Amino acid sequence: MMTLFALGACEPTRPPLDQLNAAAHGLENARALGAGEFASADLDAAAREYEAAQAARAQGDFDAAAALALQSQADSELAAARARRAQAQHAVDKLERGNAALQEELSRQPADAAEAQP
């Protein structure tokens, strides 16, 4: 009985294709969101982990491949979130500059209107 359990524990797990596919999709998504510009360190880490996961899969170390793929996916999600945050902050900054310009223009208009009246 103990021998069967030991043999079962040594059986190789199956290739983590779902995790590898999810990691690849995560990398594509992060790149599409501009993570290369706004979160390059996180994107680079995700890419390195994905490559390591593929190498582990090729060597038959499916447990390591699955773990590395999951880490790659997490880092891709972090990179995507940081890219979205940076883009949102950029949009906020642009709107604030536009509002400041409008406020300045509005503050000058009453003085211009008073000068125009006789």
Alpha helix ranges (H) inside 11-61: 17-32, 35-38, 40-58
Which pTM was predicted? 0.74
- Fold for the domain defined by 15-110: Substrate Binding Domain Of Dnak; Chain:A; Domain 2 (1.20.1270)
Question: What are the tens digits of pLDDT across the range 66-105?
Answer: 999 999 999 999 999 999 999 999 999 999 999 988 998 8
In the chain, domain spans? 15-110
The pLDDT tens digits for 30-64 are 999 999 999 999 999 999 999 999 999 999 999 99
Rounded Cα distance, 63 and 95, in Å = 48
